[in-house]
Amino acid sequence: MPRADSFGALPPAGVVVDDVRMTDRISAVISAFGVLASVLVFVMAVDEYRSGASALWIAGGAAIFLSAAYALVRDVLRLRPGRTD
């Protein structure tokens, strides 16, 4: 009768799951939604500026959009097959 605390030998690791690739894909999708949200913020900032608000609204909206676009480009470049990072 086998003992309850005996699990035996572990099976050999024949397949290695590429979790980094899946993480990069998820990061790219999140960045795409971030660009979408930043476009909405920028449109809202332009609307506020046209209503008489400060020009800092446009500067802030542009900064948010540019940072989100940079993150998306960085994530898309990570998905390229010949990356060396």
Does some domain include residue 84?
Answer: no
Question: How many separate domains does the chain show?
Answer: 1
Residue 61 in contact with residue 35, Cβ under 8 Å? no
Q: pLDDT tens digits, residue range 21-40?
A: 788 889 999 999 999 999 99
Does some domain include residue 17?
Answer: no
Identify the domain containing residue 56 by its residue range: 34-78
Does some domain include residue 44?
Answer: yes
Does some domain include residue 58?
Answer: yes
Does some domain include residue 5?
Answer: no
Residue 78 in contact with residue 24, Cβ under 8 Å? yes
Does some domain include residue 56?
Answer: yes
Nearest to 30 by CA among 81, 65, 68, 66: 68
Q: How far apart are CA 40 and CA 46, in angstroms?
A: 10
Does some domain include residue 61?
Answer: yes
pTM of whole model > 0.85?
no
Residue 61 in contact with residue 7, Cβ under 8 Å? no
Tell whether the model's pLDDT for residue 16 goes beyond 60. Answer: no
Q: How far apart are CA 9 and CA 45, in angstroms?
A: 62
Please tell me which residue, 39 or 80, carries the higher pLDDT value.
Answer: 39
